[in-house]
């Protein structure tokens, strides 16, 4: 028989996301949610050791994983861009040494994936996947080409705005996030149910990268900036003196 010791040190939980920040799982305008979104409300789990820790991954990073334009014999067709930013928590602290994974369509809006049947050319010089680990300040940087918009089967004449998928871990299980980075001024924003699934308009806009002249490279590439903000922690509880 195990004797449990409930007097484990108090744990500072992670802040719960404000309402309107994340999309409701049941978002009827995005049709695939209908069969996949749970029907029952999630059970709120108090944060304990398994939630305040998380995978600290540096991945198996290949030499060209950070440069999607150099993964093949020749450069891909398209507008070369540099995408950089920081992975932060909501207290403004950069998250160092954390894995950032990206994937995207090619310049024509076609994914190098067997499921994608869009009648647009595949680019033999573009696979569309990359990964990088943040530096000590939480900064990451990729070189890629700007992905094209593409049609999808959600409704008649449905088109996704250009986007890059991002997957980040932070340093706790609670911080795990997959999102999409959009480009400023995209005319498809008003029509896209995935972008618009985020209820709060200001939150939606935080998925739009900003044009970044400062990091553009003369005679080489324009740049976009995209910071990713993950949940911070509640204040550390005061330790009660124990006998």
Partner 1 sequence: MSELALTPSQTVGPYLSLGLTWPTGYLVVPEDAPGAITITGVVRDGTGAVVPDGMVETWQADAEGRFDHADDPRGASGSGFHGFGRSSTDAEGRYRIVTVKPGALGDGQAPHIDVSVFARGLLDRVVSRIYFPDEVEANAADPLLSSLPPERAATLVAEQVGPAELRWDVRLRGEGETVFLAV
The residues with which 90 forms a beta bridge, in sequence order, are none
Total number of residues binding partner 1 (CB under 8 A)?
A: 93
* 53-112 positions binding partner 1, by CB under 8 A: 53-57, 59-60, 88-92, 101-105, 111-112
* 19-48 positions binding partner 1, by CB under 8 A: 21-25, 27, 30, 32-40, 42-48
Judge whether 111 counts as a catalytic residue.
yes
Residue 50's H or E segment, with its range, is helix 49-52
DSSP 58: -
Least Cβ distance, residue 235 to partner 1 (angstroms): 8
**Which of 14, 111, 140, 224 does the annotation list as catalytic?**
111
Only one of the segments 76-84, 122-130, 132-140, 212-220 lies at the binding site for partner 1 (rule: CB under 8 A); that segment is 122-130
Is 156 near partner 1 (CB under 8 A)?
Answer: no
Q: How far apart are CA 140 and CA 215, in angstroms?
A: 13
Q: How far apart are CA 162 and CA 224, in angstroms?
A: 13
Judge whether 150 counts as a catalytic residue.
yes
**Which of 80, 86, 131, 160 does the annotation list as catalytic?**
160
Is 178 near partner 1 (CB under 8 A)?
Answer: yes
**Based on CB atoms, which residue is closest to partner 1, 103 or 223?**
103
CA atoms lying within 13 Å on the CB side of residue 126:
27
Q: Which of 81, 95, 108, 198: binder of partner 1 (CB under 8 A)?
A: 198
Binding mask 203-232 for partner 1 (x = CB under 8 A): xx-xx-------------------xxxxxx
Least Cβ distance, residue 224 to partner 1 (angstroms): 15
Burial class of residue 81, CB neighbours in 10 A (0-12, 13-18, 19+): buried
Question: Which single residue is written with the structure tokens 């996949």?
Answer: 36
Is 135 near partner 1 (CB under 8 A)?
Answer: no
Q: How far is CA 80 from the centre of its chain?
A: 20
**Burial state string for 140-160 with b = 16 or more CB within 10 A and e = fewer than 16:** bbbbbbbbbbbebebeeebeb
3-state secondary structure of 139: strand
Q: Which of 70, 72, 116, 118: binder of partner 1 (CB under 8 A)?
A: 116
Active site residues: 111, 150, 160, 163, 165
């Amino acid at each position: 028989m195990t004797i449990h010791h409930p007097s484990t040190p108090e744990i500072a939980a992670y802040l719960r996301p404000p309402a309107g920040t994340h999309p409701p799982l049941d978002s009827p305008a995005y049709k695939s949610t209908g069969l996949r979104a749970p029907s029952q409300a999630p059970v709120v789990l108090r944060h304990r050791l398994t939630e305040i820790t998380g995978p600290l991954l540096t991945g198996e990073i290949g030499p060209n994983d950070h440069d999607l334009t150099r993964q093949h014999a020749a450069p891909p067709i398209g507008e070369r861009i540099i995408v950089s930013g920081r992975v932060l928590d909501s207290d403004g602290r950069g998250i160092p040494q954390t894995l950032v994974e990206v994937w995207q369509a090619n310049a024509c809006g076609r994914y190098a994936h067997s499921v994608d049947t869009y009648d647009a050319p595949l680019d033999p010089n573009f696979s569309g996947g990359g990964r990088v680990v943040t530096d000590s300040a939480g900064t990451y940087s990729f070189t890629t080409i700007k992905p094209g918009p593409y049609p999808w089967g959600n409704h008649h004449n449905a088109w996704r705005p250009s986007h890059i998928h991002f997957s980040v871990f932070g340093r706790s299980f609670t911080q795990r996030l997959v999102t999409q980075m959009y480009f400023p001024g995209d005319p498809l924003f008003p029509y896209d149910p995935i972008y618009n699934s985020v209820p709060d308009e200001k939150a939606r806009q935080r998925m739009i990268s900003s044009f970044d002249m400062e990091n553009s490279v003369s005679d080489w590439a324009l740049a976009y900036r995209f910071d990713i903000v993950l949940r911070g922690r509640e204040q550390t509880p005061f330790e009660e003196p124990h006998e």
